[in-house]
């Protein structure tokens, strides 16, 4: 049976889908390495990166490494709500930038990551999905219970040393026998 404290925050809608997306990206990168482009040839900035095609996706070693890294980050972050959402946003923005740059550049991303039309679509779709997942909240929070219900109220001190001192002065001025003999009155501390 689950602990009640674990459910106080609600259930995360982001953790599961982020983990599944991470597994898919990781598998795509590994399969791309095994069956297609495992060459790390690149012509940075002004050149064109070429890769091999597998299931319609063009990829070279760098493209597959990007997918493996993105998938691994998402998979490792998926057990915790805040990490899943944070890395979903970061990886989504990176993949989205790669997709947009590939669209503008034509056949690759800065001459490093090879990409054809289907690869650009994969990067763009993964980016859109991850950004949407980053916006998902927790659901099922117990709204009747306040956040501070578990905190015990602060107990006020009955008397402080200053109060005891002032009480002793008043008693001495009034001629109270206990104050003059040093006997303690009830509720005082030493």
* Structure letter (DSSP) for residue 67: H
For residue 17, is pLDDT > 90?
yes
Q: Is 41 exposed, middle or buried (0-12, 13-18, 19+ CB in 10 A)?
A: middle
* Structure letter (DSSP) for residue 59: E
99 with 175, same domain?
Answer: no
Quote the CA–CA distance of 23 and 113 in Å, as a whole number: 21
pLDDT band at 157 (very low <50, low <70, confident <90, very high): low
124 with 164, same domain?
Answer: no
101 with 187, same domain?
Answer: no
Q: Which structure tokens are listed for 135?
A: 């916006």
Residue 189 belongs to a domain: yes
98 with 174, same domain?
Answer: no
pLDDT band at 4 (very low <50, low <70, confident <90, very high): very low
Quote the CA–CA distance of 128 and 122 in Å, as a whole number: 10
Residue 57 belongs to a domain: yes
Residue 147 belongs to a domain: no
17 with 88, same domain?
Answer: yes
Domains held by the chain: number: 2
Residue 66 belongs to a domain: yes
94 with 164, same domain?
Answer: no
Residue 183 belongs to a domain: yes
Residue 161 belongs to a domain: yes
19 with 99, same domain?
Answer: yes
Count the neighbouring beta carbons within 10 Å of the beta carbon of residue 109. 24
90 with 116, same domain?
Answer: yes
121 with 30, same domain?
Answer: yes
Read off the pLDDT of each residue in 60-68 and give the average, rounded to a whole number: 91
| pLDDT greater at residue 185 or residue 104 | 104
For residue 146, is pLDDT > 90?
no
122 with 41, same domain?
Answer: yes
pLDDT for the residue numbered 91: 96
Q: Which structure tokens are listed for 77?
A: 């972050």
Quote the CA–CA distance of 73 and 76 in Å, as a whole number: 5
Residue 33 belongs to a domain: yes
Quote the CA–CA distance of 182 and 169 in Å, as a whole number: 12
Quote the CA–CA distance of 37 and 51 in Å, as a whole number: 6
Residue 151 belongs to a domain: no
Quote the CA–CA distance of 75 and 91 in Å, as a whole number: 12
Run of H or E including 54 = strand 52-54
Domain extent at residue 50: 12-139
107 with 67, same domain?
Answer: yes
For residue 159, is pLDDT > 90?
no
């Amino acid at each position: 049976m689950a602990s009640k404290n674990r459910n106080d925050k609600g259930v995360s809608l982001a953790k599961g889908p982020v983990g599944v997306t991470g597994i898919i990206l990781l598998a795509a990168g590994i399969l791309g390495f095994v069956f297609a482009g495992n060459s790390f040839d690149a012509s940075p900035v002004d050149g064109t990166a070429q890769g091999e095609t597998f299931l319609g996706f063009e990829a070279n070693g760098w493209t597959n490494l990007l997918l493996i890294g993105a998938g691994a980050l998402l998979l490792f972050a998926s057990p915790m709500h805040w990490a899943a959402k944070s890395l979903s946003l970061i990886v989504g923005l990176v993949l989205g930038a790669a997709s947009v740059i590939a669209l503008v550049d034509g056949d690759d991303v800065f001459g490093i990551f090879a990409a054809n039309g289907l690869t650009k679509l994969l990067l763009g779709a993964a980016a859109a999905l991850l950004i949407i997942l980053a916006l998902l909240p927790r659901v099922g929070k117990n709204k009747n219970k306040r956040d501070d219900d578990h905190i015990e109220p602060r107990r006020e001190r009955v008397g402080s040393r200053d109060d005891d001192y002032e009480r002793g002065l008043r008693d001495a001025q009034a001629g109270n026998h206990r104050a003059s003999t040093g006997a303690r009155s009830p509720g005082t501390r030493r």
